[in-house]
Amino acid sequence: VRARVLSGKELATTIRAETSAQAAELTKLGSPPKLAIVLATAEASAAWYVRSLAAAAEKVNVSCDIVDLGPDAAPADICETLANLCSDDTTHGVILQTPLPAGAKPADLASAIAPEKDVDGANPLSLGRLAAGLPAFAPATAEAVLALLCHHNVELTGRHVAVVGRSTVVGKPAAHLLLNKNATVTVCHSRTKDLAAITSTADVVVAAVGRAGLITAEHVRPGSVVVDVGTNPTDDGRLVGDVDAASVAEKAGALTPVPGGVGPVTTALLLQHAVQAAAH
Ligand SMILES: NC(=O)c1ccc[n+]([C@@H]2O[C@H](COP(=O)([O-])OP(=O)(O)OC[C@H]3O[C@@H](n4cnc5c(N)ncnc54)[C@H](OP(=O)(O)O)[C@@H]3O)[C@@H](O)[C@H]2O)c1
């Protein structure tokens, strides 16, 4: 028996269609949604990601400004840029792309993004509100995990979910969103002893680590649901997840693919957040 493939493509298409229609409506009413992405790195993959996000935005009637401050930007200048964008009434969503210049503290800089425009949930206030069960934009990747599970009718109430990874962009917010859905959540990380002993008792495993093939068949319970958040580039130019899909698919009940799982839903939700911000 091979695991069911929990694709994100269909859900992403649905979210994009709704977002596009709502953005067109807002434009008609004189408030065209606009996203701004602040970039301060020479890393080619970040620049590529930002350009592809901008292209995806334009496709759903969201205009997108890329503000490239260069890899030597001073933290104070990045903060000032973010603050200026937040006080600009025509800009509704503000994203600070990582990586940041050496010495810049992500949480300090992201604190300059007003929560109502913090469409990728980067401001620590957004994570705090999420933890408190209050309305806030969640980091799109963490929300995509939940959206994908919901779309594929995976029950979460009372189920044991093991989240592998505790970053502020994926693991921690995903854990809070899962708690808000009444799952019983265990968060694992690099200091966790005997990872397989924990994950193999879980009904759902969420892998958000950044290590190709870390999660193997020994880490999963027969019939469980596995969400692969990892995106790891290979030497031959492919993208693979944190899950060793070949072995896990023989044991798990369902598995999200990489690419085509969490990734497209993340992008769609980010744009949906920008339109939601514009609607307020
Ligand atoms: N699909 C998408 O849209 C999307 C978006 C964002 C990120 N991602 C991908 O998701 C992955 C995680 O991203 P991230 O930003 O959360 O990464 P990160 O900030 O590097 O965090 C990685 C987490 O994994 C833990 N970890 C490392 N080695 C481990 C091990 N051997 N066993 C258990 N846990 C281990 C780390 O533990 P410690 O805390 O102890 O160091 C840390 O909490 C990456 O592949 C990234 O590319 C995908």
pLDDT tens digits, residue range 47-99?
Answer: 999 999 999 999 999 999 999 999 999 999 999 999 999 999 999 999 999 99
User: Does 27 sit in the ligand 1 pocket, CB within 6 Å?
Assistant: no
Ligand 1, atom 47: nearest CA belongs to which residue? 231
Query: Ligand 1 pocket, 257 CB below 6 A?
Result: no
User: What amino acid is encoded at 24 in this protein?
Assistant: A
8 C-beta closer than 6 A to ligand 1: no
Phi, psi at residue 100, to the nearest 5°?
-110, 160
Look at residue 76 in the predicted model and tell me its pLDDT: 97
Question: How many other C-beta atoms can be found within 10 angstroms of the C-beta atom of residue 83?
Answer: 14
Q: Whose CA is closest to atom 35 on ligand 1?
A: 190
Q: What pLDDT, on a 0 to 100 scale, did the predictor assign at position 186?
A: 99
pLDDT, residue 173, reads 98
User: Which 3 state secondary structure label does DSSP give 258?
Assistant: coil
Ligand 1 centroid to residue 206 C-alpha, Å = 11
Per cent of the chain over pLDDT 90 is: 99
Burial string for 147-173 (b: 16+ CB within 10 Å, else e) reads bbbebbebebeebbbbbbbbbbbbbbb
Q: Is 254 in the pocket of ligand 1 (CB under 6 A)?
A: no
pTM for this model (two decimals): 0.98
Give the C-alpha separation, 143 to 77, whole Å.
30
Cα angle value 14/15/20 (rounded, 5°): 100
pLDDT of residue 189: 98
Q: What per-residue confidence (pLDDT) applies to 277?
A: 98
* Ligand 1 lined by 192 (C-beta under 6 Å): yes
Residue with CA nearest ligand 1 atom 21: 167
Q: What does the alpha-carbon distance between residue 215 and residue 219 come to, in Å, rounded to a whole number?
A: 6
* Dihedral over alpha carbons 17, 31, 138, 159 (to 10 degrees): -40
CA distance 212 to 210: 6
| pLDDT tens digits for range 224-260 | 999 999 999 999 999 999 999 999 999 999 999 999 9
Q: Specify the residue with its C-alpha closest to ligand 1, atom 22.
A: 209
Say yes or no: CB of residue 164 within 6 Å of ligand 1: yes
Q: Answer whether residue 1 shows pLDDT above 80.
A: no
Q: Is the CB of 216 under 6 A from ligand 1?
A: no
Write down the pLDDT at residue 39.
98
Q: How far apart are the CA of 25 and the centre of ligand 1, in A?
A: 38
Count of Cβ atoms closer than 10 Å to residue 251 Cβ? 21
Determine the residue of 148, 190, 239, 271 to mutate for testing ligand 1's pocket, defined as the one with the most ligand atoms within 8 A of the Cβ atom: 190
Tokens describing residue 210: 């950044």
